[in-house]
Every structure is written in C-alpha cells, then in structure tokens.
Amino acid sequence: MRALEPVRTTLEGLHYWPTALAEPAQIRLLDEVLAAVERAPFYRPVTPGGRPLSVMMTNLGPLGWVSDHRGYRYQSTHPETGEPWPPLPGALLELWRDLTGDPGRPDACLVNLYRGQARMGLHQDRDETDMAAPVLSVSLGDTAVFRFGPAGGGKTATLRLGSGDVCALTGPARLARHGVDRVIAGSSRLVPGGGRINLTLRRAR
C-alpha cells in the first residue's frame, strides 16, 4: 500500500486513502476477483419491488448480500448457481486490518460491476447485525463520482474514486447516505472490457 494515513473528507468518519493499492497490487487483486467470478458469475439483481439494478453483482466470503422479491439480506450461496461464495482474497483482509484497525474480520464482500450507464442511488448500509463495524470500499478500474452525505439528511458532496483508491465508513459516518452518480468511462484500462469493479467489505453478522 502507498498510503496509511487517510485524506480528510468533509464528513466525519468517512476516511479516504487515494491509491492505497499501487498498480501491481491492483492487477493482482483483479486477477483474484476475476478468477472468483468464474465460480460465482455476475448477475443482475432486482429490488424487492422487481426493478432491475443497473449494476451487475456477485459476492466473496462466507456471506453475500442479495436483493430480490423477498427483500434485502445476506446468504451463504449464490442465488443463481446455489453454490457457496468464493473465499475472500487475502489482500482484502490485509486492507481491512491495516486501514480500519478493526479487531474483527469481514465476513462479506459485495462485488459490483459498473458499465455503461450503471449507477447507484443514495442509500445506507443497514442490513448488517454489527453496525459498529466499519464498511471498507475498494475501487478498481474506471473512476467513479461517489456522492455522500450525513445519515440524517442534508447537503451531500462528491469524491472521485479512482483505481486503487480505498474509503471507509466508520463511527459517525457508518450510516452515511452514499451512492455513485456516474462512472467515467475510459478513465482506466485495468478492467478487461472496461468499467469499474467495486469491492465492499462488511461484517454482516
């Protein structure tokens, strides 16, 4: 990692480490993720109301976040293949340990693939049992315009997350509203076929 000290943001508890992963580390991590996707392919989930999300998703780790007509939840198997999710790469566990300082381990990693007009509306991560644990996000590929704001509402701000950048929602920002306004196509050549892969580590239980 290139940086251990986070850059200050406008929201207390939102920590940001630009280029925490140098390019060789990004390539190694991406290779591991793409190998895992061979076992747990990307799929397009739907909201409980039946609306397809614009991002493609899969998961790594003991538990995976899923969404369908039954609601939002964590489960141990891929909803289409019925197989267990692939294990978490060691590099992600190291990032969690080194950057968050949290003594526990993440048990879920949501993998989102953004291509074309894919985006993510403002939302809160609140399907986890352990709300004191941080949420750690790793960006690979094209730059995203990340929007965030206080949990209780109010003014939002944006942050551009490039390939290798890492951010974390902790403490007072653990329930911050956040989302992705857009992805800047062609800003990186890392991901085969283009686009952005975002890895979100959580402790679900």
- Show me where the domains of the chain are located: 14-202
Count of C-beta atoms within a 10 Å radius of residue 28: 13
Question: What does the pLDDT read at residue 5?
Answer: 81
Class level of CATH domain 14-202: mainly beta
**Cα 70 to Cα 82: distance, rounded to the nearest angstrom:** 16
Question: What does the pLDDT read at residue 50?
Answer: 95
Segment 14-21 mean pLDDT: 96
Q: What is the pLDDT of residues 45-71, one digit of tens each?
A: 999 999 999 999 999 999 999 999 999
Segment 4-14 mean pLDDT: 89
Count of C-beta atoms within a 10 Å radius of residue 155: 7
pLDDT-based confidence at 157, cuts 50/70/90?
very high
pLDDT-based confidence at 118, cuts 50/70/90?
very high
Phi and psi at residue 91, to the nearest 5°: -65, -35
Question: What does the pLDDT read at residue 3?
Answer: 47
Question: What does the pLDDT read at residue 165?
Answer: 98
Question: What does the pLDDT read at residue 6?
Answer: 85
- What percent of the chain has pLDDT above 70? 98
Strand partners, 94: none
Q: Is the pLDDT of residue 144 over 60?
A: yes
Q: Is the pLDDT of residue 2 over 80?
A: no
Question: What does the pLDDT read at residue 130?
Answer: 86
Phi and psi at residue 19, to the nearest 5°: 50, 45
